[in-house]
Structure 1
C-alpha cells in the first residue's frame, strides 16, 4: 500500500509539472521544455512498471470528459489566416508540410480551408485565390459569415512563409495535447479505485497520444533543403501596413 501511494503521488506530481510547463509562456522554447517533461514522465512510468506486476483488467476505469475545446484568441486565429494566405501564395512549400494536420487548427473552418489548399497542391492543380475559392465552394464552406469576397481577401494577404505559420500552429497543438494528457493522468491518480498497474497502463496510453504529435513536430522542425520558391523558409513576416481583413467568423471559435 505504501508503494502504491508513492507511485500515485509520483505520477500526479509529474503530470502537474507537465501541465504547468505546457502552459508556461515564460520559457524560451516551450515545446522543447514540454517534451522534456513528457520524457521525464515516461521514465517514471518505465521505473514503476518494473515494480508492479501486470494483471487482467489493466486499463483504468476512470471516465473522463474528453478533450476540452481549445479557445481561440485573435492571435491564434490570425496565425491560421496567415498560414492559409502564405500557403496559397507559395504552394510548393506546402508539398513539404505533411506534418501539419487539420486537427491542429483551432477553428474548424480554417482546418477545412487548409484541406482545400492541400488537396489542390497534392493533385498538382494551380493554386491561387480563385482556385482556392472554387475548392471551398465545392466543399460547401462558404456561408453568410464567409462570403466569396471574404475568402478571396483571406487568402490574398501573405506574410512570411507557410512553414513559419505552420510551426506556430503545430506548436500550439502540441502544448494543448500535452496539457490534455496531463489532465487525464491526474484524473487517473485521483481515482482511488485504480491500481498502480492501471495507473501505469492508462498513463502510457495517454502519453502515446502526445508522442504521436511529437513525431510530427520533429518532422516539422528538422532541417530541410532550401525551398526553390521565393518564399523565405520558416521566416517571420515583415511588419504589415495595417491589420488583415478579418471575415466575421464568430460562429465557430473552438476546435471540434
Structure 2
C-alpha cells in the first residue's frame, strides 16, 4: 500500500475511534488530504466538532451516531462513501493516540504535492512565455511560488531560508534551441562585432549564460574580455581572441559558426534592443530550468519538507539574478539631481580654497627682517669690499 494513503486512512480512523484527537490536529486542513473522499470525511469531522456533537465529548465508548452523522455529512460533498469504507478507515489505524504523527505524514504529502503543482505551473507558463516572447506571466508565477514556499515553511515550522543542496538531482532536460533562436543570437553577436561601441550598450546586464547556444555565450565572453581590456572590437580581434582561448582547437566553436557572425559587414540594428530580447528569453528559460529542478527535488522522497522548501528557494536563485538584470536593463538611467550636483561642486570648491589651520608652536622660528627704508642721506654699507653709497 502507498505509505501516504496508509497515513491518511490511519489518521481518519484514529479520529473516528477517538474524536478527542481532533484537538491535536488544528494545524491540519481538509485540502491536505490527497483523496477527495478523505477531504470530505475530515471536513465533516471538523464540522461536527464545531457543532458540538455529543460524540466529541464521549469519555468512554464513541456513540454510533458519531459514525453515521460523519457519513451523512461527508456524503453531501463526495460520492462513493459507504459504511464499509468507514470501517476500513478504522481498521487502518493501529493506535488512535498516534494521530498527530499520522497527521504529520498527511501534511508532508500535502507539501510535496503543493511544491510539485506550483513548479509545474511555473514551467508551463515559462514555456508559453518563451514561445510568445513575454515574461509577465513567468514573473508573476515565480512570485506566487515564492509565496507558497513561505506559507508552507510556516506551516511546517521552519524559516523560509534558501538551502544549497548537497547534490543536484537530475532534472528533465530542456529543449534544444530552435533555428530561429540561433539566428537571433548570431545577429546580436554580429552587431556587437561590427558596430563600434555596441558591446558597451549591453555589457552591464547581458551575460554569457543568457545565450541558448553555449558556443555563442563563449564567443560573447571573448567580446566582453576585449571590451573590459579597452581593446578595439572587430572581426580580426574577435577571431584572435577566440583563437587565444582555444575555442576552435577544442571544437567548442567551428568556422561554420563564426562565419555568419564575422563575415557579415552590412549590419543594421540596435544591439541594445536585440540584447533585451535575448535577456527576455533567458529569463523564461531560467524559470523553466528552476521549475524542472524544483520538480526533481519534490520527487525525491528522502528530503523532509524543511529541506525541500529550502532547496526549492535556492533553485529560484538564478531566476532572481536574471530578473534583477532585466530590471536594470529596462530601467531608465538614474540622472543625478541638479541640486545635488551643485552642492557637490560647492563643497569641492570650498575644500580646495580653505586654508589649513596653522599651529604657531609647531612652526620654526623666523628672523624678523625690517623693510623700512633708512632716512635720506644715510650712508649704507654695501659690503666689506664695496664703497659706501648714499640713499637717494
**When the two structures are superposed, what TM-score results if normalisation uses the length of structure 1?**
0.74
SS of match in other structure, 2:267:
coil
Shifted more, 177-186 versus 144-153: the winner is 144-153
Shifted more, 211-220 versus 184-193: the winner is 184-193
Match of 2:210 in 1: 104
Match of 2:146 in 1: 42
Unaligned runs of 5+ in 1: 226-256
Q: Larger % of helix: which?
A: 2
The whole-number CA distance in structure 2 between the counterparts of 1:3 and 1:159 is: 58
Say which of 209, 215, 230 aligns to 2:324: 215
Match of 1:131 in 2: 237
Say which of 71, 80, 94 aligns to 2:199: 94
- CA shift, 1:10, in A, is 1.7
The whole-number CA distance in structure 2 between the counterparts of 1:172 and 1:149 is: 22
Larger Rg: 2
Please tell me the root mean square deviation across aligned C-alpha atoms, in Å.
3.0
The whole-number CA distance in structure 2 between the counterparts of 1:173 and 1:152 is: 20
Q: Which protein has greater RCO, CA pairs closer than 8 Å, 6+ apart?
A: 1
- CA shift, 1:42, in A, is 0.4
Would you say the 8 A contact 1:133–1:152 is kept in 2?
no
SS of match in other structure, 1:50:
helix
- The 5-angstrom pairing of residues 199-210 of structure 1 reads 199-210=308-319
- Provide, for residues 71-106 of structure 1, a one-character-per-residue CA deviation record: whole Å limited to 9, x for no partner: 121111111111111112334232242211112222
The whole-number CA distance in structure 1 between the counterparts of 2:307 and 2:140 is: 24
- CA shift, 1:125, in A, is 2.0
Would you say the 8 A contact 1:22–1:179 is kept in 2?
yes
Unaligned runs of 5+ in 2: 1-104, 335-392
Say which of 179, 182, 186 aligns to 1:77: 182
SS of match in other structure, 1:193:
coil
Say which of 148, 155, 160 aligns to 1:51: 155
Evaluate the alpha carbon distance shift between residue 66 and residue 27 of structure 1 in structure 2; reply closer, same or farther with a 3 A threshold. closer
Count of residue pairs brought into register by the alignment: 223
Say which of 277, 286, 290 aligns to 1:181: 290
- CA shift, 1:21, in A, is 0.3
- CA shift, 1:159, in A, is 3.3
The whole-number CA distance in structure 1 between the counterparts of 2:284 and 2:149 is: 21
**When the two structures are superposed, what TM-score results if normalisation uses the length of structure 2?**
0.50
Shifted more, 141-150 versus 3-12: the winner is 141-150
